[in-house]
Amino acid sequence: MTDLILLLQADHDIQTAFNRYEEFQAGRGEVFMRHLDAALPSCVSIPRLLPPMERYRRMLIRDFPYGIFYEVQPKRIVVGAIMDLRQDPETIRQKLLGD
């Protein structure tokens, strides 16, 4: 069995996105969470389906402009970030790799 680990940054990203959507429209944050909860198991069940971007892979969250950035390790999947994909790709890369 492969473990799914969310780093502190990913937890922070989730909370930020939830708050942003709730401020926009009450209940929209809950919808975001349901879509996120539906996508996360795929990171475990088919982790290598998506091509790597540097050391991370990216899974899209349905109906939202967010991606789950995760790393496949031998016995676990580590989610490093959940980011809004409407940013400049170089900004995303810098956040992921700490450049």
Domains and CATH numbers, the chain: 3-97 (3.30.2310.20)
What is the structure's pLDDT at 1? 67
C-beta of residue 23 within 8 angstroms of C-beta of residue 48: no
- How many of the other CB atoms lie within 10 Å of CB of 25? 9
Average pLDDT over residues 16-33: 97
What is the structure's pLDDT at 96? 86
Query: With 70 as the cut, is the pLDDT of residue 99 above it?
Result: no
What is the structure's pLDDT at 62? 96
C-beta of residue 10 within 8 angstroms of C-beta of residue 79: yes
DSSP 33: H
Q: How confident is the model at residue 46 (pLDDT cuts 50, 70, 90)?
A: confident
Alpha helices (H) in the chain, listed in sequence order: 8-24, 28-45, 89-97
Average pLDDT over residues 42-52: 83
Least confidently predicted of 17-21, 67-71, 92-96? 92-96
Token pair belonging to 40: 């996360």
Average pLDDT over residues 53-63: 90
Average pLDDT over residues 9-33: 97
